[in-house]
Amino acid sequence: MAYWATATLPLKELSLLPAVSSRTSGGTSCCKTCYLNPFDHRRKGTCHLYKTQIHSNARASVVSSRQSPVNSNGGVWEDPDDGSDSDCDDEPQVAEENDLDFESDWEDEKDSSVATIDGKLEEMKYEDELAKEIELLLEPEEWSILQQNSAPNLEKISTAKWSPLHTLALAGQIHFLDQLLENGVNIDFPDKDGLTALHSSILGKKEAVISHLLRKGANPHIKDKDGVTTLHYAVQVGALQTVKLLIKYNVDVNASDNEGWTPLHVAMQSRNRDIAKVLLVNGADSMRKNKDGRTPLDLSIAYGKDFKAYDLTKLLKVVPANRDL
């Protein structure tokens, strides 16, 4: 089976190849046959030749000079190029393109900054126009009240039931929540039930607000009027990530409410194995009794004979001895 391969010869060895005289130019050229066909790749003084190998035989078949001459349409050797078209020329171009890419990225960042500034200017302009429009819409007394309230007037926007701090926490309005805090509102201000904004955000499963309040200094150890902690509520709503976060803030995993219920009691009531495991691994007492004398295990088996009862019972019995289960 024949296949094509490419051989490369330096220019200084070209003189060793047999050559024939051209009938038209009088010069010399390599024979043009199916065995040898020279062509110029213009690459740094080398010339590539096609040669035929049969059955992987590496011997090149070269036509002897005694063959009949070919016409001027055959391949004619050309002077090697000076390398101006070599691959080396591409390297500076690539580097230049990279530089242009860098400049393009810088220009994009610059355009983005300009767009941000323009956006803020447009927003300020719109706010000024809106203020002028509101001044025309409001009655003089209403406009006077608005001018007097440079900061939120908590007395007028709060009741025992409705606290703006709690409402904004549940609504996820972190920006306006911060505005209240900047105006001196107590981050741990309780409502009529003793719930703080942190309690409310946990009940609403607002993880972003929870993390924000904790970073701002909210107290995770405060209990409501029933003695319920933030960890109790996190367990009740099944917020596993919040449970882990509160444990990082060193909350008491065995804290009990006014009825003696610990977070583990609540986990058994909600039948949440993942949260129960986290509590047990972090030191929750599976034998702690509430005011009715019931342990978390008692609550688990009280649900009856089903798979979840078996699973939770095994967890309560084994994990305290092997916390890696």
Average pLDDT per consecutive 10 residues, the chain (325 residues; last block may be shorter) = 46 47 42 42 43 40 42 48 50 51 56 72 84 83 79 82 93 94 93 95 96 97 97 98 97 97 96 95 94 94 87 88 49
- Can you give the pLDDT at residue 24? 41
- Residues 160 and 179: their CA atoms lie apart, in Å, by 21
For residue 250, give both structure tokens. 């060193």
- Can you give the pLDDT at residue 306? 86
DSSP 82-100: -STTSGGGHHHHHHHHHHH
Which segments of the chain does DSSP mark as H helices, in order? 90-137, 140-148, 154-157, 164-171, 174-182, 197-203, 207-215, 230-236, 240-248, 263-270, 273-281, 296-301, 307-318
Q: Which of 158, 205, 226 is nearest to 186 (CA)?
A: 158
* CB-based contact 6:48 (threshold 8 Å): yes
- Can you give the pLDDT at residue 152? 78
Q: How many CA atoms lie within 13 A of 15 on its CB side?
A: 1
Q: Tell me the three-class secondary structure of 182-235, residue by residue.
A: HCCCCCCCCCCCCCCHHHHHHHCCCHHHHHHHHHCCCCCCCCCCCCCCHHHHHH
Question: What's the CATH superfamily of 163-318?
Answer: Ankyrin repeat-containing domain (1.25.40.20)
- Can you give the pLDDT at residue 19? 46
Q: Where are the domains of the chain?
A: 2-79, 163-318
- Can you give the pLDDT at residue 236? 97
* CB-based contact 266:300 (threshold 8 Å): no
Q: Which of 278, 209, 214, 195 is nearest to 240 (CA)?
A: 278
- Name, in order, each residue with C-beta under 8 angstroms of 248's C-beta and a sequence gap of 6 or more: none
For residue 7, give both structure tokens. 């051989």
Structure-token match 């701090």, residue found: 165
Q: What is the gyration radius of the CA atoms in the chain, in angstroms?
A: 43
- Can you give the pLDDT at residue 21? 43
- Can you give the pLDDT at residue 155? 80
Q: Which of 308, 287, 307, 306 is nearest to 298 (CA)?
A: 287
- Can you give the pLDDT at residue 140? 84
| Whole-number Cα distances in Å, 83 to 11, 76, 97, 202, 323 | 14, 20, 22, 73, 73
Cross-strand pairs, 53 = 3
- Residues 144 and 224: their CA atoms lie apart, in Å, by 40
- Supply φ then ψ for residue 65, to 5 degrees: -75, -10
Q: What is the pTM of this model?
A: 0.60
- Can you give the pLDDT at residue 209? 97
